[in-house]
Amino acid sequence: MFDIKGMEEIGKRISREVIDKYEEAVMDMHGETCFKHVVKTLPLPLRRVSEADYVRALKTIDEFVKNRDNIKHVTGDERNAMHLTCGIIDRYHRQQEENNYNIELHVIRLGDIAFASNPFELFLDYGLRIKARSLAEQTFLLQLTAGSGAYLPTEKAERGGHYSAYITSGHVGHEGGDMLVRETLDIINGLFKE
């Protein structure tokens, strides 16, 4: 199930189950259920690399290459370190041209339930904040949809240095996470106030 064919099969199974349950729910409904769908393109601030981190990354690459007798024999740890270092350099160049990472946000109201999508693997805090302040009876968050923004760490996680909070592990930082929470809640709660 880890190759493309397997993932397609899993996707088909999930979609069949969703459609079956939807059809059952429609047959069981008495009266008319509210259905609303909002799609919004949301520009979130790109997580930025400092000039000092960029210069340090360039020096790290330069020293790595200079101190190698044979560049073909690289350990796994060295490869991982270089991957992160190159990611810092890449992000620095990208941020010279771009300030935002645009996402497609979908929010659906189905009766008393809300569904909200985003392209991130959210740190738990963001999801809990959305669910706690949502006016919906139940709120479902769908992650890694409409693209992949990778990890979306909190400010605490960024300071902690975990692999999922490295600057190269995602496009957006905690400022964008706070914006995502606010925008998602504005849309959800707006649908329930109408």
pTM: 0.79
Are residues 114 and 87 part of one domain? no
Region 65-80: mean pLDDT is: 78
pLDDT tens, 91-116? 999 999 999 999 999 999 999 999 99
Are residues 168 and 111 part of one domain? yes
Question: Lowest-pLDDT range, 43-52, 108-117, 165-174?
Answer: 165-174
Residue 109 in domain: yes
Residue 56 in domain: yes
β-sheet with 100-110: strand ranges across: 35-45, 100-110, 113-117, 138-142
Which has the higher per-residue pLDDT, 24 or 181? 181
DSSP 40: E
Which range marks the domain in which residue 85 is found?
A: 51-97
155 burial class (0-12, 13-18, 19+ CB within 10 angstroms)?
A: middle
Are residues 152 and 78 part of one domain? no
Are residues 109 and 88 part of one domain? no
Are residues 117 and 171 part of one domain? yes
For the chain, the domain total comes to: 2
Look at residue 31 in the predicted model and tell me its pLDDT: 60
